[in-house]
């Protein structure tokens, strides 16, 4: 883990965003891998592929695993674990004495590049994120192959989406959900309505994705990492 010095920042919830204070915390340098999750379920068999309760994970849970102890061919132990529900991710973090990051904590760290803590004003930063959105997802790639940011954190962009503790707490706008049933599968693009620049578009894509999923969903390019409070 690495230490993150908290501060105040303006998140991109929408056009009426207000300043948010983020307190000091620690965050995992890498997303949780298949190897790490394999060790977790060995000690916590209730989260194994064959034993997890349907209330906590849909049928796709650990879909790229062959069984409770083996990965399917082509899936690497050093790749981020995906097809894992929010409930399972939360349980993993708590087992490690940690927790899932809040949206604000995740966004605060993810707005950094190699040089700046807040690189959102840089066109190159946003173009790189959007380029990832437009290419096939790389959920089988290894952790640590993308550059670390100024905090020393890897793979916040360019590898997989990641669960947050309060993943569905932010509604992008009333218009983006107007006449849409709350159980509908509303994915990324819809919340880009009203985005005025690359910075807004990239952020809205993340918020809309989070807002479209449920805690028991298990998605092929959705993983997680943990954070820890600093006393």
Domain ranges of the chain: 2-30+97-172+214-229
Distances (CA, A) of 22 to 9, 48, 57, 152, 202: 8, 34, 30, 18, 21
- Report whether 86 contacts 216 (CB < 8 A): yes
In this prediction, residue 136 carries a pLDDT of: 63
Give the three-class secondary structure for 164: coil
Name the average pLDDT for the chain: 84
**Residues of the chain scoring pLDDT < 70:** 13-17, 136-139, 170-200
Instruction: Return the axis-axis angle of helices 198-211 and 123-133, rounded to nearest 10°.
Output: 40
- The residue assigned the tokens 């997890």 is 52
In this prediction, residue 137 carries a pLDDT of: 62
In this prediction, residue 180 carries a pLDDT of: 37
Q: How do strand 20-22 and strand 161-162 relate by DSSP bridges?
A: unpaired
Q: How far apart are CA 185 and CA 126, in angstroms?
A: 26
pTM equals 0.85
- What's the pLDDT tens digit per position in 92-149? 999 999 999 999 999 999 999 999 999 888 878 878 887 777 776 656 789 998 889 9
Exposure string (b/e) for 131-144, b if CB count within 10 Å is 16 or more? ebeeeebbbbbbbe
Q: Of all helices (H) and strands (E), which one includes residue 22?
A: strand 20-22
In this prediction, residue 204 carries a pLDDT of: 75
């Amino acid at each position: 883990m690495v230490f993150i010095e908290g501060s105040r920042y303006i998140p991109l919830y929408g056009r009426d965003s207000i300043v948010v204070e983020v307190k000091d915390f620690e965050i995992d340098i890498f997303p949780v891998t298949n190897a790490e999750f394999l060790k977790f379920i060995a000690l916590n068999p209730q989260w194994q592929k064959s034993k997890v309760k349907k209330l906590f994970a849909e049928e796709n849970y650990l879909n790229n695993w062959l069984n409770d102890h083996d990965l399917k061919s082509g899936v690497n132990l050093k790749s981020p674990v995906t097809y894992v529900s929010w409930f399972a991710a939360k349980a993993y973090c708590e087992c490690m004495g940690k927790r899932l990051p809040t949206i604000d904590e995740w966004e605060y760290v993810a707005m950094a590049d190699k040089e700046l803590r807040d690189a959102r004003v840089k066109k190159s930063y946003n173009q790189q994120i959007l380029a990832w959105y437009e290419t096939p997802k790389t959920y089988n790639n290894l952790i640590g192959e993308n550059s670390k940011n100024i905090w020393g954190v890897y793979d916040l962009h360019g590898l997989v989406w990641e669960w947050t503790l309060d993943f569905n707490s932010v509604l992008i706008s009333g218009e983006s959900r107007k006449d849409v049933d709350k159980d509908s599968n509303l994915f990324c693009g819809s919340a880009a309505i009203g985005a005025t620049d690359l910075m807004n578009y990239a952020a809205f894509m993340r918020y809309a994705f989070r807002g479209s999923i449920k805690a028991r969903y298990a998605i092929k390019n959705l993983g997680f990492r943990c954070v820890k409070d600093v006393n």
